[in-house]
């Protein structure tokens, strides 16, 4: 690897201290760092400043938390290059590098890493007049349908591609990828699923019924949720509000054709990483 886009989060990386170290480290390895003109001061560390996304970048390196990695995934998907996170959050399920171990970046210059691919979700809304509204972003972790006030109970009906359906009354519902199984879905009581599996996990949020279990669907499944209540609902992708689902409107969730590439240095499996990060939370 010879060129990488560096995306810092100045709210997480105070004074861009870690970002500067990352750029300096890469420069010592003859890896060129591209940085947005919003961070022009990083040219002091040898970064090349860009106003338009450089098409010859071979990776995207994010210095921030999981939210920063998710936001930067749009650039990685645009360029079809892998993404790598330097964890500046508390846990960092999506980050491979700890800021105290930047020496591991040396493996980038010798291509001593693997590239893993993660499934993504798409969401498409059907309005009451029959129009299809496709959102211009993919969900790395989850698609969430919830009451507009985030506090009210809502009614909705779930239908699979075969026409089987079931009604729910709940605060909302989460559709997550296997990678997203350790995010909001886990907090709502959903299962932990190995991140290399292709599957769609449906988990109701505080359901007002005896049936409150998650359902794990095959990756080819298309799941449609129809708003059968009287109130409008929010449609959020990875915690970002993208639209509103009015009464009688529906939203279809499916696996995307595109996949997110990630840089992996770890020798262990996903669960060894998970257990290590859970221990960080307990400490």
Fold classification of 119-258 (topology level): Tumour Suppressor Smad4 (2.60.200)
> DSSP for 107-139?
HHHTT-SEEEEEEEEEEEEE-TTS-EEE-SS-B
Q: Which two tokens stand for residue 281?
A: 């939370």
pLDDT at 149: 73
**Closest residue by Cα to residue 160 from 119, 104, 221:** 221
Domain boundaries, the chain: 3-113+265-282, 119-258
pLDDT at 152: 77
pLDDT at 257: 95
* Cβ atoms 231, 148 nearer than 8 A: yes
Counting other chains too, the contacts that 9-12 makes at CB distance below 8 Å and 24 or more residues apart are 9/62, 9/63, 9/64, 9/65, 9/68, 9/88, 10/39, 12/63, 12/64, 12/65, 12/68, 12/88, 12/89
- CA distances in angstroms from 242 to 70, 139, 145, 148, 184, listed in the order given: 15, 11, 11, 12, 17
Fold classification of 3-113+265-282 (topology level): Rossmann fold (3.40.50)
pLDDT at 270: 61
- Cβ contacts of 29 within 8 Å, gap of 6 or more: 105, 106, 108, 109
* Cβ atoms 46, 99 nearer than 8 A: no
pLDDT tens, the chain, 283 aa long: 999 999 999 999 999 999 999 999 999 999 999 999 999 999 999 999 999 999 999 999 999 998 999 999 999 999 999 999 999 876 667 788 989 999 999 999 999 999 999 999 999 999 999 999 999 899 999 999 998 876 778 899 999 999 999 999 999 999 999 999 989 999 999 999 988 899 999 999 989 876 778 999 999 999 999 999 999 999 999 999 999 999 999 999 999 999 999 999 875 556 666 666 665 555 5
**Closest residue by Cα to residue 68 from 51, 54, 80, 85:** 85
* Cβ atoms 227, 156 nearer than 8 A: yes
* Cβ atoms 199, 175 nearer than 8 A: no
Query: What number of other Cβ atoms are within 10 A of residue 149's Cβ?
Result: 10
CB burial of residue 16 (10 Å; 0-12, 13-18, 19+): buried
Catalytic residues: 66
Q: Is the torsion defined by CA of 48, 52, 54, 60 positive or negative?
A: positive
Rounded to two decimals, the pTM is 0.89
Which DSSP state fits 47?
A: P
pLDDT at 277: 60
């Amino acid at each position: 690897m010879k060129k990488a886009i560096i995306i810092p989060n100045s709210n997480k990386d105070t004074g861009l201290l870690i970002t500067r170290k990352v750029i300096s480290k890469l420069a010592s390895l003859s890896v060129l760092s591209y940085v947005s003109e919003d961070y022009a001061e990083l040219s002091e560390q040898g970064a090349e400043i860009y106003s338009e996304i450089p098409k010859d970048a071979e990776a995207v390196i994010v210095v921030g938390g999981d939210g920063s990695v998710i936001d930067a995934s749009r650039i990685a998907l645009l360029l079809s290059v892998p993404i790598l996170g330097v964890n500046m959050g508390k846990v960092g399920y999506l980050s491979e590098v700890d800021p105290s171990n930047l020496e591991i970046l040396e493996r980038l210059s010798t291509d001593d890493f693997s590239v893993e691919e993660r499934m993504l979700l798409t969401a498409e809304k059907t309005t009451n007049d029959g129009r299809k509204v496709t959102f211009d972003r993919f969900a790395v972790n989850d698609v969430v349908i919830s009451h507009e006030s985030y506090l009210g109970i809502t009614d909705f009906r779930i239908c699979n591609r075969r026409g089987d359906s079931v009604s729910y009354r709940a605060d909302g519902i989460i559709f997550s990828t296997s990678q997203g199984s350790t995010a909001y879905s886990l907090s709502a009581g959903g299962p932990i699923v190995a991140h290399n599996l292709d599957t769609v996990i449906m988990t109701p949020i505080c359901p007002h019924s005896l049936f409150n279990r998650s359902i794990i669907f095959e990756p080819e499944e298309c799941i449609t949720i129809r708003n059968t209540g009287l109130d409008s609902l929010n449609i959020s992708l990875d915690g970002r509000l993208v639209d509103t689902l009015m009464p009688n409107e529906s939203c279809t969730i499916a696996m995307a054709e595109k996949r997110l590439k990630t840089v992996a240095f770890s020798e262990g499996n996903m669960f060894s990483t998970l257990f290590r990060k859970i221990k960080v939370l307990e400490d």
